[in-house]
Structures are given as C-alpha cells and as structure tokens.
Structure 1
Amino acid sequence: MNMQAREAPPVSPAEPFRPADPPCLTEELRLMRDQVRRFVDQEVLPHADAWEKEGKIPRPVFRRMGELGFLGMRHSPDYGGTDMGPLASMVFAEELARSGYGGFTSSVLVHTDMSACHITLRGTPEQKAKYLPAIIRGETVCSIAVTEADAGSDVAGLRTRAARDGDHWVINGSKMFITNAFYGDLLIVAARTDPGAKGSRGISLFIVERNLPGITATKLDKHGWLCSDTAELGFVDVRVPADALLGEENRGFYGIMETFQNERICIGGICAGESAKAIEFTLDYVKTRQAFGGPLWNQQGVRLKLALLASKAAAARQLAYHAAELASLGQDCIREVSMVKALAPEVLQEVVHGCLQLHGGTGYMRGTPIERMVRDARILTIGGGATEVMLEEVAKRM
C-alpha cells in the first residue's frame, strides 16, 4: 500500500486541539472553563516545571484558586461555594488536565472533589462551618486517606483501626499513596471501628488534622505526578475528639463508594484533557518536524494514526460527559461511571504512547512534554479503582 498516495492536507500553523462542546455544556460552565483556561495559561504553565523539580505546589497557588472560586464548585454557597454539580467537576478536571501537568491536576482535584466532598456530603453543620470555608478559600489543603499497602481497590480489606476511648477516638494504623498528605493540612481517614465486622462493614470516616501528635508522613518518590506530594502515613495512638467522626459510625464504606463516583467522573475529565493536550503537542510536532523531504504530517500513516487516536479520545470523552450528565440529573449511573473509569484511562495510554512514538527519539527525552505526560498518565488505570475492578463492576450490571 502506498502510504503517500493521497495528497496531505496543507501544513498550517499549529492551533490548540479543541474537541467540540457537548450539548450538556451550559453557558455558565463555558464561562467557568474559559476562566480556568486563562488561569492555567497565565499562572500555571509559566511555573509548573519549577514545581515538578521542587516536588510540591506552592500554597499561594491554592489560595489564588480559592480567590477565583475554583475550589468551591462542589460545596454549598452557605460556606463560600457555588454548588455547580458533577458536570462542573468534569469540565474543571478536563481543563486542568489540558495543562499537561498531571501532578498539579491531581493535587487540586483530590482537594476539591475527592476529599472535601466527604464533609459536604455527610458532615454535621458544625463540621461544615469549621472546615469548609478555609478549604474553599484554599487556606486548608485537604486529603483523602483510604488506601493501605494491602488494601487499594479492595477498600473492604483496610486494617487501620479507631477505638473509642471516652470522649475521643484513638487511631492506629497506616496509609499508603496518599496525595496532599505530606504538605497538606486535613485528612479524611477511613478506619475500622468494629473489628468484629466482616468486609465492608464496620468502617468509619474521621476528620483528622494533619499536625496531631502520633501522625508521621514519609514522602514517596513517584514515577510521575512529580509536583503533587504523595506520602505514606503512620498513625500511632492518634487521639481525635468524638465529634471528628464523619457521618454515621460503621457506615464509612458506603460514603467512600459514593464519593468514588465523583472521583471517577473527574478521572474521565482528566483523561479527556490529557488526551487532547497530547494530540495538540503531537500535531504541532509533526507539522514542523522535517523528514523524508517534508513535514512528517505529509506521511499518510502519521495522519491516519493521529486521526484514529483523536477518534478514540473523542468517544471516551463523550462517554465521560454522558456519565457526568446522568450524575447531575440524580440518576443511577454506577454502570456508566464504571465504564468511564475502565475505558478512558486505557484510551489515554494508547493516545500518549502513540503520540510519543510519533515524536521519535525526541519524545523519549526528559524535559519534553510528551515524555512527562506518558509518565503522568500511567497511574490513571490504577488509582480510583483499577481497570480490572471497574470491568467487574460493569459486568455485574450487564
């Protein structure tokens, strides 16, 4: 087959690769997206390489995002939020991910959608009033501490325990791979409060301030997401007041599962944003890289490869927006959200690896955007529920 049989489309100056807006995107969501886009362009991209080297995101960045209203989109106006719903999370995640920096994106979304939402969904009025305003302003950085060395996707297998002692709970155990746990301020901790209960029963959630005596944190050295801090946590006789219990005692597993739905919608948004950015970087590269007597874009095989990757990314993105819309309507969408979490990260792997291939040796060099994006993307088939676990969830509902 002659791969140059058809004339190549004209080589034009590279433009941002912007997938079409889905019909569910309201004017309010578009305005929010545009504001996030400006923030990323002006206040993230000029500094993100330095954050990657330092292994952390400066605290003023969170405060600036709080000033702009980005940290309260899933929280009530009573505490300074805007309560915009699951579609806002999808749009926000997609636009953050278009930065091309997975560590920055994950750190922000863990704060906004994967940890603080527990307080909004099941906190008492006193807990909300105490913690949410500072979280929404970006003054308190929040984290979710569920995963353990022997209990990742198998949440029911966690071993950290909390025992009642008078007016306090005493927590002992450890957590692994916890984002925002080294430099952050507040932990939502899952612990077993009924040691005699089996599996998912007997797990409770607690609001734990990071600086309490008995908490240790060891920063972990990761393959990707370099500017987000990830830590192993230890809890030795950590005493928290009785009112630190978040939600109903022994019902924490169900709260975790509920919030996982929102986390997985966010991951769908991350995959959509990162796929689009990887394709954008690669279009720019193949239209300027000279080989075989002209730009790589002139090679039909290159064009067809990018077209196929863009098509698969668009399909996964559409599914993610569909699931977010169902969630915003209050419909049961566990099957659809599980499909998103199973499909979108796998498509992203294909996209970023395919884009790196088209960059050739340049794409394998540290310091190139596509090399970073390949490293950052790898965790998304694991975190938030491994692909295999998500496929089991889909199969249960077939």
Structure 2
Amino acid sequence: MTTWQDDATRDLMSLGGRLALLERGEGSSVWDADGRRYLDFLGGIAVNSLGHAHPVFVDAVSRQAATLSHVSNYFASPAQLELAARLKRLAGTGDEGRVFLANSGTEANEMAIKLARLHGGATGKSTILVLNGAFHGRTMGALSITPKAAYRDPFEPVLPGITAIAATIDALEAAFDDSVVALIAEPIQGEAGVVPLPEGFLARARELTASHGALLILDEVQTGSGRTGDWFAFQREGVVPDAVTVAKSIAGGFPLGALITFGAASDLFYPGTHNSTFGGNPLASAVANAVLGHIESEGLLANVTARGAELRAGVEGMPLVAGTRGAGLLIGIVLSEPVANEVRQAAHERGLIVNAPAADVIRIAPAYTIGDDEVGEFLTLFREALAAVATTIPTPTETPA
C-alpha cells in the first residue's frame, strides 16, 4: 500500500519536505489525515490572520463565488474598487495614493522593482539598494533583490543594478549617492529570523531617499495587514514611504497581494507597463474586504498587540530561550543554542506548528483571533519541546587547571 509520502515523492517536485497531510482546520487548529490535531502557531507563515475556516472568510468566498469570481482586466468590479479604497485609507496614502492588486507578495515586489525602474528612467538613476538578510521572493526579479547565495547562485545572472548593503545606518549612509534610484527594505526581516531594522533606520532612510530623489519602497508582505499591531509597520516608525507591498495576511488565506503607492510615485505606471490576468479578481478582492473589515470592526489589532506581549513574556525564562524580538504576532524566539530545527521537530511531535527561519530562532505568527486557551496551550507545548531538546545538549565539562 502506498502512503501519501509515496504519492508526494512520485508526483510533486522535490522542493522541500512535507511534514504531514493536513485535511481540515478550524480556528487555530488543524487535523491531519490520521485525525491528529495540531495547534497552528505559524498560520501558513503569517497568512491565516483569522485562523482556519473562519465564518467571515467562508461566507465571503461562498457569496462572491455565487455571483462573480473572475473577469478580465478590461473590467473593474465593486469588490476591487472597495478594496483599493480600503487599502489607501488603512495605509494613509490620501487621495494621491494608488493600488495595484496582484496575486502574491512576490508579484507585488516584482512590480515594486518596475516602479523603481520607471522612476530611474525619468531621473537617470539606476541603482537599487537592498539589505543583507532580506527576502523578497523567488521569481527572477524578486530573487535579484534577495541577497542570499543559496537562493540566488543557481540562477545567476540575476537583474543588474542591485547593490546589497548591511542593515545598518552607517552602511546606508555610505551607500547613498545620486545614482541610487530606490531602497527596498522590510521593516522586520522575517525570513532572516524576525530581525527588526535598527532603531532610526527607516527615519534615516526616508531622509536620504528624499534628499537624493530616490524612492523608499517597503516590503510589508509579512508585517502588513495588522500583523505587528498596526496596519503597517512603517506607521510604527512615523515615516511615509513612496510605496509598500503587502500580501500574506491581507486576505486570510486567499491568494492576494498589492502594491500601494504614495504621492508622485502613483503617476509612474501608465497603460501597457504592467497588468495581471488574475490580479484584483472579484473573488480575491471580496475575501480581502471581508477579512480586513472584520479585523477592523472587531478591534483585532488590539488583540494582536496584547497577545504578542503575553506570548513574549510567557516564553521568557523557558529552557534555551535567550530572548525575543519582533512586533505584535510576528515573533522571533531567540535560542541560546543553534537547535531551532530540533525544537521545531520536538514541537511538531507534540502537536505544535512553528518554524525555524534561522539556526537559533523559532518564528511564530498565529491568528489574530487567539485567546487565553490558545496562548496557554502554546506555552505548555513549547516549554515541553524546549525541555526535551535541552536534555540532549551536552553539558560543558570543566577544563582542568
């Protein structure tokens, strides 16, 4: 008898391990094909903002699918227009802002690169600055602004005109000159291990981009849509970018991404320079409106902030925990030893889903709807996983005098 692992090996491309065959979910729980329940504290990697099978999500999909799912980009739909206006309001773009709806964060970042190129064509600038540790996607354009050798080297040459610098204010200042057309950066580098930019970095980046006539483009694919407790992480820093990309949590699990522009950057694209067959389709737009509307009407951003603080405080003092970083419900739990993958595996064995973006970091990004029960269960299971791994680490022996 073949297993689902056999089927996956035979039929799916070998691009990474699959830990279980999940069949259904509800709230912050998922069940595999054998009926085993897991507490999902990864949320599809910061995607399932309302958890699984939330009634608002299910109703929005059902209602819109029964009326109009897809039209070509020769037409608009009420849901698309409503979502664009909503995103402008939540981002604070004012009337000059514009929105392009895509299908993923990677696609939104591809468009951000094109925005920078259009700005360069108008100004004669050409260099796009990116930060070491960044992750912006795996298509060729997004990969070009993702300076990680393991991802990029097999696909060289990538796009020219990209310069990677350290994520420090000193490196930023040293790199800036009048050839720079844009800086593209994540406020918190999720794939690097939930690493926030240094204090004051975004404010200095805004000053430098403005004084050199360059664009400040922020990748908020992980941090946007309320994940940090604010609608966008840049709002926590008191800066206004020229453009921001968003996806993941925006539609609670339905594929959708967006590029949102501010001010003069909104005038750079013109007919023929970009489009998407599925981007902004009525079904995706309606679901995003429902998800974002529910987050807003239910005041879930306050829960994101409160539960994030509760979780960070709760893991302090646990075995192997050296500290935490991040914001809201995008949290990196820093370990004192490079055993994150072992902790992830031990958690999985106990029915807890987390992941290990770095050798010494566990990332959690649960639903905005978590409450006392989910927090308590997470803390219990996570402590058990840490304790189990801690017992396998050799105790250093004293060196003879």
TM-score by length of 1: 0.25
**Structure with more contact order per residue of length (Cα contacts < 8 Å, sep ≥ 6):** 2
Q: Which has the higher helix share?
A: 1
TM-score by length of 2: 0.25
